[in-house]
């Protein structure tokens, strides 16, 4: 396949509207495309509420916002816009009916999708790349797409771009907090991903440094419970950050503790070590991008109950077994992971 993609490709469209974690894990492909097609103009279709993550990105010529809850007229305008752009190459990294419509509407001469495509999305593509099935980690799927496009170099660039303004904001927000700083995100999109907030609060109460609770506006009550348990400095920024500011803040933290969520992947892409709590998802398939050379490795704490990694959005167990994974992952297990990463970081600082 690689031989069919000359460097003369001038217009590339990436269709990956959501979700935050999936978008973040797709960013290394953007950096690789810039190297493979240095003269190409690259555009990205993304959900409007996530577009701030990409605005101003030096690898992108354009960010195309998608309104998921928009009406038919909004969709028609978007499809017409994609057609007029005359892309040479389009990548559907989402693989759903709505992204299939976008991919087909582009009429690009080369349209590529994933083996994970659903709802007939594969029919809008000329080919789906081998090695991109559900049994493959998201970051490894990007590696397979890169190889299909003739990119042989490792995807070492996370592709995450953080503006100087966002970094200035984070520096000011954290300036009075004693180090080390532990960022905590207790929320998640599915109820089966949400390890109980009281357990996060218990870990926060053991941490000797400062705690910063992050999340959406709806998760502010969870964040408030966490900062109330902190031993030293504490800051609640849930619902008070833009995506660029959140990325800069997580980059500035020493460590992040989180459920399997978008902010966790954002922290990992920013180069921050992560302790991830995995209940209904698999740390192998849904874990963050592995850290680069010289970085402290992530610690992913997963349940061992019989329905582990079931990817059920609602708990399949009833009675005493309902949300058994929450109980099986103890505060002590998660605390030991946090302590292990913190100690390794301290050793690295002392030996530097």
Strands (DSSP E) contained in 158-298 are: 181-185, 210-213, 234-236, 255-259, 273-278
Q: Do residues 144 and 50 both lie within one domain?
A: yes
Q: Indicate the pTM of the whole model.
A: 0.94
Answer whether residue 100 is part of any domain.
Answer: yes
Evaluate if residue 8 carries a pLDDT over 80. no
Structural domains in the chain (count): 2
Evaluate if residue 174 carries a pLDDT over 90. yes
Mean pLDDT for 63-86 is 92
Rounded (to 5) percent helix, strand, coil in the chain: 45, 15, 40
> What backbone torsions phi and psi does residue 264 show, to the nearest 5 degrees?
-60, -45
Q: What is the number of other CB atoms lying within 10 angstroms of the CB of residue 134?
A: 10
Q: Which residues of 308-323 are buried (b: 16+ CB within 10 A; e: fewer)?
A: bbbeeeebeeeeeeeb
Q: Do residues 206 and 320 both lie within one domain?
A: yes
- The whole-chain average pLDDT of the chain stands at 93
Q: Which of 148, 180, 205 is the last residue of a domain?
A: 148
Query: How far apart, in whole angstroms, are the C-alpha atoms of residue 81 and residue 92?
Result: 16
- Residue range 94-151, pLDDT digits in tens: 999 999 999 999 999 999 999 999 999 999 999 999 999 999 998 899 999 999 999 9
Nearest to 284 by CA among 312, 260, 252, 257: 260
Evaluate if residue 3 carries a pLDDT over 70. no
CATH number for the domain harbouring residue 308? 3.40.50.2000
Q: Which residue has the higher pLDDT, 232 or 211?
A: 211
Q: Do residues 119 and 252 both lie within one domain?
A: no
Answer whether residue 258 is part of any domain.
Answer: yes
State what percent of residues in the chain have pLDDT above 70: 98
Q: Do residues 236 and 319 both lie within one domain?
A: yes
Q: Do residues 140 and 212 both lie within one domain?
A: no
- Residues 6 or more apart from 284 whose CB is under 8 A from it? 137
Answer whether residue 133 is part of any domain.
Answer: yes
Evaluate if residue 26 carries a pLDDT over 80. yes
Answer whether residue 101 is part of any domain.
Answer: yes
Q: Do residues 70 and 181 both lie within one domain?
A: no
If you ran DSSP here, which 8-state letter would residue 85 be given?
T
Considering only CA atoms, give the Rg of the chain.
Answer: 21
Evaluate if residue 238 carries a pLDDT over 80. yes
What is the pLDDT confidence band of residue 14, given thresholds at 50, 70 and 90?
Answer: very high
Q: Do residues 216 and 340 both lie within one domain?
A: yes
Q: Which residue has the higher pLDDT, 7 or 114?
A: 114
If you ran DSSP here, which 8-state letter would residue 322 be given?
T
Q: Do residues 271 and 342 both lie within one domain?
A: yes
What is the pLDDT confidence band of residue 7, given thresholds at 50, 70 and 90?
Answer: low
Query: How far apart, in whole angstroms, are the C-alpha atoms of residue 108 and residue 43?
Result: 13
Q: Do residues 126 and 187 both lie within one domain?
A: no
- pLDDT of 193 reads 96
- Domain that includes residue 90, residue range: 2-148
Mean pLDDT for 313-317 is 92
Answer whether residue 195 is part of any domain.
Answer: yes
- Residue range 260-308, pLDDT digits in tens: 999 999 999 999 999 999 999 999 999 998 887 777 789 999 999 999 9
- pLDDT of 295 reads 74
Answer whether residue 125 is part of any domain.
Answer: yes
Q: Do residues 198 and 79 both lie within one domain?
A: no
Q: Which of 117, 148, 179 is the last residue of a domain?
A: 148
Answer whether residue 229 is part of any domain.
Answer: yes
Q: Which of 148, 179, 206 is the last residue of a domain?
A: 148
Query: How far apart, in whole angstroms, are the C-alpha atoms of residue 8 and residue 126?
Result: 19
Answer whether residue 159 is part of any domain.
Answer: no
Q: Do residues 135 and 178 both lie within one domain?
A: no
- Residues 6 or more apart from 338 whose CB is under 8 A from it? 182, 203, 206, 207, 255, 257, 275, 299
Q: Do residues 187 and 316 both lie within one domain?
A: yes
Evaluate if residue 6 carries a pLDDT over 70. no
């Amino acid at each position: 396949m690689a031989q069919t993609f000359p460097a003369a490709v001038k217009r590339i469209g990436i269709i990956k509207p959501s979700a935050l974690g999936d978008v973040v894990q797709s960013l290394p492909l953007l950096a690789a495309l810039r190297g493979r097609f240095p003269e190409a103009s690259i555009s990205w279709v993304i959900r409007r509420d996530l577009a701030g993550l990409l605005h101003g990105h030096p690898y992108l010529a354009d960010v195309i916002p998608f309104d998921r809850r928009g009406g038919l007229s909004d969709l028609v305008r978007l499809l017409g816009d994609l057609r007029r752009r005359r892309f040479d190459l389009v990548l559907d990294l989402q693989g759903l009916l709505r992204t299939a419509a976008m991919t087909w509407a582009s009429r690009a001469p080369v349209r590529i999708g994933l083996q994970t495509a659903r709802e007939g999305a594969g029919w809008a593509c000329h080919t789906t790349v081998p090695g991109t099935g559900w049994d493959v980690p998201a970051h490894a799927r990007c590696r397979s797409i890169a190889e299909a496009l003739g990119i042989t170099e490792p995807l070492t660039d996370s592709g995450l771009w953080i503006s100087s303004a966002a970094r200035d904001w984070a520096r000011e927000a954290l300036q009075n907090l004693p180090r080390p700083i532990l960022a905590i995100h207790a929320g998640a999109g599915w109820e089966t991903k949400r390890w109980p907030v009281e357990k996060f609060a218990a870990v926060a109460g053991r941490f000797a440094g400062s705690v910063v609770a992050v999340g959406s506006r709806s998760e502010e009550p969870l964040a408030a419970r966490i900062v109330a348990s902190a031993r030293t400095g504490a800051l609640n920024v849930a619902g008070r950050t833009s995506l660029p500011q959140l990325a800069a803040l997580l980059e500035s933290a020493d460590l992040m503790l989180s459920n399997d969520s978008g902010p966790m992947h954002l922290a990992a892409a920013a180069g921050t070590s992560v302790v991830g709590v995995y209940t209904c998802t698999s740390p192998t398939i849904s874990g963050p991008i592995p850290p680069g050379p010289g970085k402290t490795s992530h610690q992913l704490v997963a349940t061992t109950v019989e329905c582990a990694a079931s990817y059920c959005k609602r708990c399949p167990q009833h009675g005493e077994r309902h949300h058994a994974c929450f109980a099986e992952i103890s505060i002590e297990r998660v605390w030991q992971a946090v302590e292990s990463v913190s100690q390794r970081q301290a050793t690295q600082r002392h030996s530097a």
